[in-house]
Amino acid sequence: MTEETLYRILLWGFILSAVGTLPILLFITAPYGRHTRKGWGPQINATVGWVVMESPSVLAMLACFVVGSQSWNAGGIALLCLWMLHYVNRTYVFPFRRRGGSNKMPLFIAASAFTFTSINGYLQGRHLFTLSGGYGAEWLLDPRFICGAALFLFGWGVNLQSDAILRNLRKPGEKGYKIPTGGLFRYISAPNYFGEILEWTGWAIATWSLPGVAFAFWTFANLAPRALSNHRWYRETFPDYPTNRKALIPGLF
């Protein structure tokens, strides 16, 4: 079997598993953070969990760049920079800045996410630097790249700002939850997820690729149900929670 055939099987398996995961997550909220509960097996340190489970996003992409046959093209390198802009923060900065004491996450969550980021890193990286035939300098002037990169950067800004607002709700070492305010929290309960979904939608457009669309859909399948759970949790937990705030998409739901 050629690598192209294997790649295609993996990609379609990845897409089908996102389609299957979305309805499951509408009924079963992933048991980490505020939704942590017993009965999900052994727990590990959450900071370690975040670094380990996100690392393949950086390492698999770099490996695909190193071994790629079309790596040294300006368009591909620009896309690599967008990817790293997000993932260096998510993997090696964000986990150490989180506040809330030494909280735990189920090993099962870290292992599932590790599998996901390994497959996704391979699918995105192999496409970018080999199977696409390469993204040359002319891609930088293509409207799909320009619009996609602009949406990615906008989403990245929203995600960073929202993560920072959440982080600053707690003083170092403090635990517990408060009502977040400011930024897009004025309109929705999960602007960090909204920003993340915009980012990977921008990535799908900027790469104009099926693996890009697959990742954007996976992000939505993961985060839209969680945004709904968080929104419900806020309303049940805080009697004074703003009633005009939606869950994920300003003005819609």
Residue nearest to ligand NDP (CB): 33
Beta-bridge partners for 43 = 106
- Pattern of binders to ligand NDP over 38-77, x per CB under 6 A? ----------------------------------------
The answer to the question of residue 170 lying near ligand NDP (CB under 6 A) is yes
Provide the minimum distance between the beta carbon of 144 and ligand NDP in the complex, in angstroms, as a whole number.
Answer: 22
At residue 250, the 3 state secondary structure works out as coil
Q: Are 75 and 136 in contact (CB under 8 A)?
A: yes
The answer to the question of residue 31 lying near ligand NDP (CB under 6 A) is no
The answer to the question of residue 222 lying near ligand NDP (CB under 6 A) is yes
The answer to the question of residue 193 lying near ligand NDP (CB under 6 A) is yes
Give the single-character DSSP code of 100. S
Q: Are 241 and 234 in contact (CB under 8 A)?
A: yes
The answer to the question of residue 34 lying near ligand NDP (CB under 6 A) is yes
Provide the minimum distance between the beta carbon of 189 and ligand NDP in the complex, in angstroms, as a whole number.
Answer: 9
Longest Cα–Cα distance of the chain, Å, equals 60
Q: Are 154 and 202 in contact (CB under 8 A)?
A: yes
| Cβ atoms within 10 Å of 236's Cβ, excluding its own | 9
Q: Which residues bind ligand NDP (CB under 6 A)?
A: 33-34, 98, 100, 103, 159, 163, 166, 169-170, 177-178, 180, 192-193, 196, 219, 222-223
